[in-house]
């Protein structure tokens, strides 16, 4: 058995990464002059920046820590979430990319609720979508801040430079860096740091791929055979969770991307529609390289435990950190830990930006108030308040964070996919259908979760069918049924033309 | 998709309804285990599947129906996005080829798995079904990206669309100018 050596190198690399984020924030500060710069980076991003910002927003801490943990625990089951990635990116681009970019230009939309309000001609649609996004922002931020605090505390402990540092201080430090560069540079700082963060994730993934291979004399084939000898079905295409669970994940993750606000909002930011031709393949290529880490770390740790070379892990989520602490050189561990922070922050900064837009730009309009004067100033204040609130939630109530954490991919998918993906491609879609499906999606995810927690009950669908996939299916059917059953709504001329392009 | 429901719309509806039907069927499958994974006998954090869980006869048909429904809905949505609700003309062959590539990989995976659910070694240390998942289905999905890139100027952003959009912007700017005056 191997013991984790103490080294300050990973901590130093992470500190350098934090400093680089703040420097990018200062760079973006000089280029952020108004709300359009702050919310959609002035709509002037190039294809490379947009592509990497897209994939790095998708890759949260869950992909770097949760993903390997799922492979360690369940075998190949969770690979269906990863394998759906290419199809999901295609679906999101086919269904949403061009239309949202055109809508942004025609109606000067600065946020997703802005674009939806223009498409449906309804402030109720704006309000419901903004509320869903605002609640989701707190959820994502609180969980990401908690994750950063745990990782930072572990790094400080391992460095041997300081004694035990409290979780509160670690959370405050990480939040200060995150909120700092977001306040300074808004969306521009967010996507510029995404570029650096994406590059780090790809480099880390490629390095880990070779580092894992070096641990087994027979390469990956030996690791696979070790797992198969212990439990053949863990290495089967559906892992230990079975085909029903895996197929429901495939449906949820392939289609769900078209409703994730932090992903689809990137379509408001690039320069020209023709850029989409380069953005799609670049996103797929860079994203696929980065997701290799999900598979290889989980497989490596399961095989190493089964071979008796590592103590069994106390929790599956320890798979990635344990591999880095025990088997990687301090430099590689430093790069991957910095990439882990990059994964967390690239998602969190997108949500901070979305939350500020929802609070300052969308909700006042949805409730009939006049547009806010000095929007940029208020957006910066809203970013600060959101960061502080999320920090408070992360530290104040583990139970609340656990509840909010469930407000993830599946809730956005169920609440927003029909309204966004079908609404931008189907003239018959109307505000009644959009509101009905958003309400159904929110009730079937948040509502059910809340009800279960109040009752102290558990709900498992037969054979592990994913609840999020069921909620998405339900909201899609409600959307189609209501749109067909209600009278056709005449569209404004520009929207009508736009839906034909 | 204006007056009469199009083929794409019907395919989407059929895919969604097939999934719903499969889900209801799974609720009532008799004799099948209610959950899949259980704790590993030596390492409780690891999960292992019950013996030949997926080979359980009663589960195969509803699971297959669900899988077909999910893929059908996804393909229909891809066609909807690419054709903007109108039937695909240019690039129809390429889109059909990509669909066949992805559907074929998924089918090969299913057949390889059902043929030998507990196979241990096929290619690069992986069982055949898993090899199809990682080296077949996963890269095959990129065919849709190839269709998008290859036929971008016919399907997604043809010169006629670009002209119509420029006219729309000009009309908007004119209207704004008049309002300001």
Q: pLDDT of A137-188, one tens digit each?
A: 877 788 888 888 878 887 887 777 777 778 889 889 989 998 888 888 887 8
Reply yes or no on whether the pLDDT at A300 is more than 90. yes
Q: Which residue has the higher pLDDT, B122 or A483?
A: A483
Alpha carbon distance B69, A413 (integer Å):
18
Give residue-wise pLDDT tens across range A105-125.
898 888 899 999 999 999 999
Reply yes or no on whether the pLDDT at A100 is more than 50. yes
Q: Which residue has the higher pLDDT, A255 or A372?
A: A255
pLDDT of B119: 77
The reply to whether residue A231 touches residue B48, judged by beta carbons under 8 angstroms, is yes
pLDDT of B1: 44
Reply yes or no on whether the pLDDT at B170 is more than 80. yes
pLDDT of A1: 47
Give residue-wise pLDDT tens across range B69-121.
999 999 999 999 887 656 556 677 888 899 999 999 999 999 998 888 777 77
Under the banding of pLDDT at 50, 70 and 90, the label for residue A415 is very high
For A112, residues 6+ apart whose C-beta sits below 8 A from its C-beta are: A129, A133, A261, A264, A265, A268, A354, A416, A420
Alpha-carbon distance A288 to nearest alpha carbon in chain B (angstroms): 10
State chain A's mean pLDDT as an integer.
86
ipTM: 0.92
Contact map slice: A 88-107 vs B, CB within 8 A? 89-91, 93-96, 98, 102, 105-106
pLDDT of A138: 79
pLDDT of B5: 63
pTM: 0.91
The reply to whether residue B120 touches residue A229, judged by beta carbons under 8 angstroms, is yes
Choose which CATH entry (3.50.50.60, 3.40.718.10, 3.90.110.10, 1.20.1730.10) describes domain A9-397: 1.20.1730.10
The reply to whether residue B172 touches residue A106, judged by beta carbons under 8 angstroms, is yes
Reply yes or no on whether the pLDDT at A310 is more than 70. yes
Q: Which candidate from B113, B142, B169 shows the least CB-CB separation from A105?
A: B169
| A interface test, pick of B14, B20, B40, B152 with most A CB neighbours within 10 Å | B40
Contact map slice: B 150-179 vs A, CB within 8 A? 152, 156-157, 161-162, 164-165, 168-169, 171-172
Show the tokens assigned to A346: 């690239």
Decide if A273 touches B, using CB distance below 8 A.
Answer: yes
Is there a contact between B80 and A347 (Cβ–Cβ < 8 Å)? no
Decide if A480 touches B, using CB distance below 8 A.
Answer: yes
Give residue-wise pLDDT tens across range A457-495.
888 888 888 899 999 999 999 999 999 999 888 899 889
Alpha-carbon distance A275 to nearest alpha carbon in chain B (angstroms): 11
Is there a contact between B136 and B108 (Cβ–Cβ < 8 Å)? yes
Please give the average per-residue pLDDT across A56-67, as a whole number. 78
Most confident option among A57-66, A225-234, A336-345, B138-147: B138-147
pLDDT of A444: 93
Q: Which residue has the higher pLDDT, B159 or A60?
A: B159
The reply to whether residue A233 touches residue B165, judged by beta carbons under 8 angstroms, is no
pLDDT of B4: 60
The reply to whether residue B45 touches residue A74, judged by beta carbons under 8 angstroms, is no
Alpha-carbon distance A443 to nearest alpha carbon in chain B (angstroms): 18
Under the banding of pLDDT at 50, 70 and 90, the label for residue B180 is low
The reply to whether residue B1 touches residue A274, judged by beta carbons under 8 angstroms, is no
Alpha-carbon distance B129 to nearest alpha carbon in chain A (angstroms): 5
For residues A446, A447, A449, A450, the Cα torsion angle rounded to the nearest 10 degrees is 110
The reply to whether residue A236 touches residue B54, judged by beta carbons under 8 angstroms, is yes
Contact list, A494 vs chain B (CB under 8 Å):
168, 171-172
Alpha carbon distance B97, B147 (integer Å):
9
SS3 B126: strand
Alpha carbon distance A282, A245 (integer Å):
30
Is there a contact between A372 and A110 (Cβ–Cβ < 8 Å)? no
Alpha carbon distance A68, A72 (integer Å):
6
Residue A45 bridge partners (DSSP): A270
From A270, A282, A260, select the one nearest A136 (Cα to Cα): A260
pLDDT of B107: 94
Is there a contact between A464 and B36 (Cβ–Cβ < 8 Å)? yes
The reply to whether residue B138 touches residue A86, judged by beta carbons under 8 angstroms, is yes
> Rounded to the nearest 5°, which phi and psi values hold at A368?
85, 10
Reply yes or no on whether the pLDDT at A203 is more than 50. yes
Reply yes or no on whether the pLDDT at A405 is more than 50. yes
Alpha carbon distance A382, A300 (integer Å):
43
Please give the average per-residue pLDDT across B49-60, as a whole number. 67
The reply to whether residue A76 touches residue B130, judged by beta carbons under 8 angstroms, is yes
Q: Which candidate from B19, B36, B156 shows the least CB-CB separation from A242?
A: B36
Find the residue in A nearest to B54 (Cα): A242
Alpha-carbon distance A71 to nearest alpha carbon in chain B (angstroms): 9
The reply to whether residue A83 touches residue B134, judged by beta carbons under 8 angstroms, is yes
pLDDT of B147: 92
Reply yes or no on whether the pLDDT at A14 is more than 70. yes
For B126, residues 6+ apart whose C-beta sits below 8 A from its C-beta are: A224, A235, B134
Find the residue in B nearest to A285 (Cα): B142
CB atoms closer than 10 angstroms to residue A222:
15
Give residue-wise pLDDT tens across range A429-454.
999 999 999 999 999 998 898 898 88
Contact map slice: B 11-70 vs A, CB within 8 A? 12-13, 16-17, 19-20, 23, 26-27, 29, 32-37, 40, 42-43, 45-49, 52-54, 59, 63, 66-67, 70
| Lowest-pLDDT choice from A43-52, A193-202, A250-259, B5-14 | A193-202
Alpha-carbon distance A382 to nearest alpha carbon in chain B (angstroms): 31
SS3 A431: helix
Contact list, A316 vs chain B (CB under 8 Å):
45
Q: How many CA atoms lie within 13 A of B73 on its CB side?
A: 29
Alpha-carbon distance A17 to nearest alpha carbon in chain B (angstroms): 33
Alpha carbon distance A59, A170 (integer Å):
22
Q: How many CB pairs under 8 A join A and B?
A: 256
Give residue-wise pLDDT tens across range A316-339.
888 888 888 777 788 888 888 888
Please give the average per-residue pLDDT across A254-260, as a whole number. 93
pLDDT of A224: 93
Contact list, A241 vs chain B (CB under 8 Å):
36-37, 47, 49
For chain A, the structural domain boundaries read 9-397
Q: Which candidate from A83, A231, A233 shows the least CB-CB separation from B133?
A: A83
Contact list, B168 vs chain A (CB under 8 Å):
106, 494, 497-498
> Rounded to the nearest 5°, which phi and psi values hold at B47?
-110, 140
Q: Which candidate from A221, A460, A480 shows the least CB-CB separation from B124?
A: A221
């Amino acid at each position: 058995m191997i013991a984790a050596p103490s080294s300050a190198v990973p901590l130093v690399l992470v500190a350098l990464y934090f400093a680089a984020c703040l420097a990018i924030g200062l760079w973006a500060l000089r280029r952020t002059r108004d709300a359009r710069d702050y919310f959609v980076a002035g709509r002037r991003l190039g294809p490379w920046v947009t592509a990497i910002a897209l994939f790095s927003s998708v890759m949260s801490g869950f992909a770097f820590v949760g993903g390997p943990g799922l492979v360690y625990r369940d075998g190949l089951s969770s690979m269906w979430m990863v394998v759906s990635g290419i199809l999901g990116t295609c679906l999101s681009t086919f269904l949403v990319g061009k239309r949202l970019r055109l809508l942004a230009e025609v109606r000067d939309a600065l946020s997703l609720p802005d674009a939806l309000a223009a498409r449906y001609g309804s402030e109720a649609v704006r309000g419901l979508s903004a509320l869903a996004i605002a609640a989701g922002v707190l959820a994502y931020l609180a969980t990401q801040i908690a994750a950063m605090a745990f990782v930072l505390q572990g790094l400080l402990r391992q460095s041997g430079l300081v004694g035990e540092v409290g979780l509160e201080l670690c959370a405050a430090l990480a939040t200060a860096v995150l909120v700092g560069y977001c306040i300074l540079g808004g969306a521009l700082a967010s996507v510029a740091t995404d570029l650096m963060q994406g590059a780090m994730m790809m480099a880390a993934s490629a390095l880990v791929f070779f580092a894992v291979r070096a641990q087994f004399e027979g390469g990956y084939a030996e690791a696979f055979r070790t797992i198969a000898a212990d439990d053949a079905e863990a290495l089967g295409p559906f892992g230990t969770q079975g085909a029903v669970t895996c197929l429901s994940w495939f449906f949820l993750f392939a289609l769900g991307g078209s409703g994730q606000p932090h992903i689809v909002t990137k379509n408001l930011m690039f320069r020209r529609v023709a850029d989409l031709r380069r953005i799609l393949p670049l996103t797929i290529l860079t994203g696929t390289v980065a997701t290799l880490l999900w598979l290889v770390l989980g497989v490596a740790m399961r095989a190493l435990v089964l071979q008796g070379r590592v103590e069994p892990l106390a929790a599956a989520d320890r798979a990635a950190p344990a591999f880095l602490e025990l088997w990687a050189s301090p430099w590689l561990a430093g790069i991957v830990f910095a990439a882990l922070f990059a994964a967390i922050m690239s998602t969190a900064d997108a949500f901070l930006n979305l939350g500020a837009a929802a609070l300052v730009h969308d909700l006042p309009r949805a409730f009939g108030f006049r547009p806010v004067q000095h929007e940029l100033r208020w957006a910066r204040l809203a970013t600060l308040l959101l960061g502080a609130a999320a920090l408070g939630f992360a530290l104040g109530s583990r139970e609340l964070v656990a509840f909010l954490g469930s407000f993830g991919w599946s809730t956005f998918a169920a609440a927003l996919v029909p309204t966004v993906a079908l609404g931008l491609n189907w003239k018959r879609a109307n505000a009644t259908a959009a509101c009905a499906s958003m309400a159904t999606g929110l009730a079937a995810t948040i509502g059910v979760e809340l009800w279960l927690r109040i009752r102290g009950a558990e709900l498992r669908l037969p054979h592990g069918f994913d609840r999020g996939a069921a909620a998405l299916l339900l909201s899609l059917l409600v959307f189609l049924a209501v749109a067909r059953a209600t009278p056709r709504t005449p569209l404004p001329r520009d929207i009508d033309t736009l839906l034909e392009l | 998709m204006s007056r009469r429901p199009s083929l794409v719309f019907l395919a989407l509806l059929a895919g969604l309804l097939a999934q719903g039907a499969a889900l209801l069927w799974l609720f009532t499958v008799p004799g099948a285990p209610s959950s899949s994974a259980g704790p590993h006998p030596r390492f409780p954090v690891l999960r292992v599947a019950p013996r030949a869980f997926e080979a359980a006869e009663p589960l195969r048909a509803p699971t297959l129906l669900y899988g077909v429904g999910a893929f059908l809905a996804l393909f229909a949505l891809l066609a909807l996005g690419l054709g903007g609700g109108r039937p695909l003309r240019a690039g129809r062959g390429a889109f059909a080829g990509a669909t066949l590539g992805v559907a074929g990989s998924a089918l090969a995976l299913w057949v390889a798995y059902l043929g030998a659910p507990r196979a241990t070694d096929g290619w690069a240390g992986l069982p055949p079904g898993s090899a199809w998942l990682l080296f077949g289905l996963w890269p095959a999905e990129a065919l849709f990206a190839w269709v998008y890139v290859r036929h971008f100027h016919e399907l997604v952003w043809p010169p006629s669309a670009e002209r119509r959009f420029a006219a729309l912007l000009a009309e908007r700017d004119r209207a704004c100018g008049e309002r300001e005056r």
